[in-house]
Chains A and B, each alone.
Chain A
């Protein structure tokens, strides 16, 4: 996946290098600016079992700042924000792989370096008894829960170092 550049992200921003579970890494540029979740909408996407985006709805495209063509075929971690602890995603994938529903609060990174918080639910899609893909639905989160997660995730990130 390509590094983020100042072509898409205007200053001021901070620069980070993210290393993903599959060994890939990417430079991301992050702005301290939150985008509010769109009222009444759901952000929906599907990935294959490796986490590659195969479908996304209009709200997903709009919030991410990428075009649909830029998103399809990319790993879902294209939206990974450096403030998100790895343990959260590890828990999500392990929970879903067991066939259980995962819920959690996630801070996502947009193409332009801004971010948005969501309350996400991920489930495994099973057809004829076989897992074939994952559906993820994000909705507007409770601010109280987001504030709690900001503190908790900061602790988890510190423990990663």
Chain B
């Protein structure tokens, strides 16, 4: 039997890679089906495999959830407990910029290719009359490199996923200053299952919320940096997609 394929949005912290493999082992035992983990370094290569129907289960970025649900027929299974996707815009600690409105057209932005962080952060720049048309964006592979560009004076502001910003080393964080952080709460990653996993949907909905109450499951969750799962009804996902839609120009 060809194994199903599990993948994770490429914006997960590298320290949690092992956690997703442990989760996969746990999941295979629970479901009794073979599952193979396939991780990607960037969003573009992951999307290419999605387009070829090469993914069966995905912990998806909210930005990609829209395409997966509406174009690929994926079903929302669960979202992580108490964990929303939020963005932080930071500057170097000695930057003269004190508030968003101090920024002017032409600023240099350092960011990753994380689509929802970039979307949320660009929205937070709108009050300064900034848009993709009047800023210079330099995309790097990791949030550590975003920080590095700020510290080297090669960028005026940096876009960070909140969780990534908070896991930067203390030394780096001390040299940066948070300008603004989003408090949107309703934009979250979501675990989506493809139509090929239809037979397992109900079982997934049963086992995932129970994970945090089982000692073994709890340990697996900790290794993934999660507190637990809560069931995501399809309408909740549709609502999140509608909301994302209002944010995309």
Contact = CB atoms under 8 A, between A and B. Distances in A.
Contacts, number: 56
Nearest to A137: B246
Contacts of A16: none
Contacts of B246: 101, 121-123, 135-137
A39 interface: yes
Main secondary structure of the interface of B (DSSP, over half): helix
Nearest to A42: B184
Given A40-B183, A44-B186, A119 B129 contact: no
A86 interface: no
A121 B244 CA distance: 11
B2 interface: no
Given A121-B246, A135-B239, A41 B184 contact: yes
Interface in A99-145: 101, 119, 121-123, 125, 127, 135-137, 139-145
In which size bucket is the chain A interface? Answer: 20 to 34
B53 interface: no
A154 B243 CA distance: 31
Q: Interface range on chain B: under 10, 10 to 19, 20 to 34, or 35 or more?
A: 20 to 34
Q: Which of B101, B127, B245 has the most CB of A within 10 A?
A: B127
A25 interface: no
B246 to A, nearest CB: 4
A155 interface: no
A130 B104 CA distance: 43
Interface in B148-197: 180-186
Contacts of A39: 100, 180
A45 to B, nearest CB: 11
B126 A141 contact: yes
Given A139-B123, A140-B126, A44 B243 contact: yes
A57 interface: yes
Contacts of A57: 185-186
A142 B238 contact: no
A142 B180 contact: no
B69 to A, nearest CB: 12
Given A57-B186, A125-B238, A140 B247 contact: no
Interface of B: 100-101, 123-124, 126-129, 180-186, 238-239, 242-243, 245-247
17 contacts: A39-B180, A40-B180, A40-B183, A57-B185, A121-B246, A121-B247, A127-B238, A135-B243, A135-B246, A136-B246, A139-B126, A140-B126, A141-B127, A142-B127, A142-B128, A143-B127, A145-B129
